[in-house]
Amino acid sequence: MLHAERQLQRRNTLRLRSRAAALSVIDSPADLERALAEARQSGLPVLPLGEGSNVVLAEELAAHVLLLRLRGCRWLDRRGLLRVAAGESWHPLVAWTVACGWRGLENLALIPGTVGAAPVQNIGAYGRELAPFVHAVHAVRIADGEPVSLSRAACRFGYRDSIFKHALRDRVVITAVDLQLSRDLPLEVSYPGLRDRLPAAIEAITPQAVFDAVVALRRGKLPDPLREPNAGSFFKNPVVSLEQAEDLQAACPGLPVFEAGEGRRKLAAGWLIEQAGWKGIEREGIAVHPRHALVLVNRGGDSAARVLALAAAIAESVRARFGVELEIEPRCYGSGP
Ligand SMILES: Cc1cc2nc3c(=O)[nH]c(=O)nc-3n(C[C@H](O)[C@H](O)[C@H](O)COP(=O)(O)OP(=O)(O)OC[C@H]3O[C@@H](n4cnc5c(N)ncnc54)[C@H](O)[C@@H]3O)c2cc1C
């Protein structure tokens, strides 16, 4: 239903001051149909929002915000095919599947946000991504309200990337995701730091143990948005050519470099930012976290313009020092194309 309260400050984890031109809470398919019709009539662009943990929202948003609260979860077969509605919270879903003995999502514990947003950037952490566990994504076209379903291949998943950031950007509202879980998938424990928290004997490691270790690692490392408003990693880890990575490693011993496919290497953005001297720096109430250089924290700055000004200064100094382009990970609304 169309909501009188259009303030979004409590609906984004950076706690930025923001007000939508229109806002609808979507509790049912009928709510979605109605809100899309209203948006078509008003001519406002539609902005689907989950828990607001991966967005930078401008002060005035000329958009009809849809707060996705569609709930529900059901097994489609006995072999681990699960349909989950877009408005379900991600972490409780992971906890439940692991507790039921299903494998696949354990490394993705404690990532904030909703199920519907998870395929948009193909969430990933501790050596695993969502993509291999997606069987299908169900959505509704914003233009005409027609339902569409995409197979995993059709989603064109990549590193923090999918078709929902390209050809289908601003074109669909995701309503449900079908996940294919497994009873016997080998566990992924090779990520630095994770293996040390697990039993020495590999056969003694359970999905629950991996889940618990990931939760403990994340709690120790990442600032809690409820106490220090943030949007997680603010920049993607840049992917460069093998040659550029080798040149940089020769010039900067200690630079962490990871495989990223044939002839490509991924660099640790946090390391580059820290080396450029930004860790702990605060400008106009927005700070680079003192323990985690990849995280920008709102300490009272409260505005998208201030967050983006700091991000631009960081990107400029990393470009000048290392010749590497940093790309912002959260989606920025109302502050440019
Ligand atoms: C402390 C912290 C840690 C994080 N750690 C990680 C991490 O380890 N790995 C990782 O990948 N991400 C991480 N993130 C980012 C974030 O949790 C994920 O991107 C998450 O999937 C966002 O979910 P959300 O519901 O908050 O999406 P929102 O922020 O509400 O939306 C994000 C984008 O998805 C779109 N969207 C949302 N729902 C829908 C829908 N139903 N249909 C169509 N489009 C939709 C929005 O329009 C927007 O463009 C972290 C964030 C924080 C704050």
Q: What is the CATH number of the domain that holds 25?
A: 3.30.43.10
CA-68 nearest atom, ligand 1: 41
**Structural domain for 122, as ranges:** 73-221
pLDDT tens-place string over residues 10-25: 999 999 999 999 999 9
pLDDT tens-place string over residues 111-134: 999 999 999 999 999 999 999 999
Average pLDDT over all residues of the chain: 95
In a domain, 159, yes or no: yes
In a domain, 172, yes or no: yes
**DSSP H helices in the chain:** 29-42, 90-99, 207-221, 242-251, 269-275, 304-322
The label of the residue with tokens 């994340």 reads 218
> Residues 198, 243: one domain?
no
Ligand 1: residue whose CA is nearest its atom 51: 232
> Residues 49, 81: one domain?
no
In a domain, 2, yes or no: no
> Residues 192, 250: one domain?
no
Domain stops at, among 221, 242, 276: 221
- Of the residues 49, 150, 291, 298, which should be mutated to test ligand 1's pocket, given the most ligand atoms within 8 Å of the CB? 49
Report how far ligand 1's centroid is from the alpha carbon of 98 (Å).
Answer: 21
In a domain, 208, yes or no: yes
Domain stops at, among 68, 92, 115: 68
Ligand 1: residue whose CA is nearest its atom 22: 113
For residue 265, what pLDDT band results from cuts at 50, 70 and 90?
very high
Q: Two tokens at 103?
A: 């494998």
In a domain, 291, yes or no: yes
Indicate if 160 belongs to the active site: yes
Pocket of ligand 1 (CB under 6 A): 13, 47-55, 68, 86, 111-114, 116-118, 120-121, 123-125, 173-174, 222, 225, 230-232, 331
Indicate if 299 belongs to the active site: no
Integer angstrom CA distances of residue 312 from 23, 171, 276, 319, 337: 30, 28, 13, 10, 15
Domain stops at, among 68, 90, 111: 68
Query: At residue 217, what is the residue type?
Result: L
Report how far ligand 1's centroid is from the alpha carbon of 275 (Å).
Answer: 28
In a domain, 286, yes or no: yes
Report how far ligand 1's centroid is from the alpha carbon of 37 (Å).
Answer: 25
Q: What is the pTM of this model?
A: 0.95
In a domain, 1, yes or no: no
For residue 337, what pLDDT band results from cuts at 50, 70 and 90?
very low
Which residue, 304, 270, 300, 303, is CA-closest to 282? Answer: 300
Distance CA 48, CA 40 (A): 14
For residue 5, what pLDDT band results from cuts at 50, 70 and 90?
confident
Which residue, 265, 243, 267, is CA-closest to 254? Answer: 267
Distance CA 55, CA 265 (A): 27
- Counting the structural domains of the chain, the total is 3
Report how far ligand 1's centroid is from the alpha carbon of 123 (Å).
Answer: 8
**Which is catalytic among the residues 152, 160, 265, 306?**
160
> Residues 14, 80: one domain?
no
In a domain, 304, yes or no: yes
> Residues 156, 215: one domain?
yes
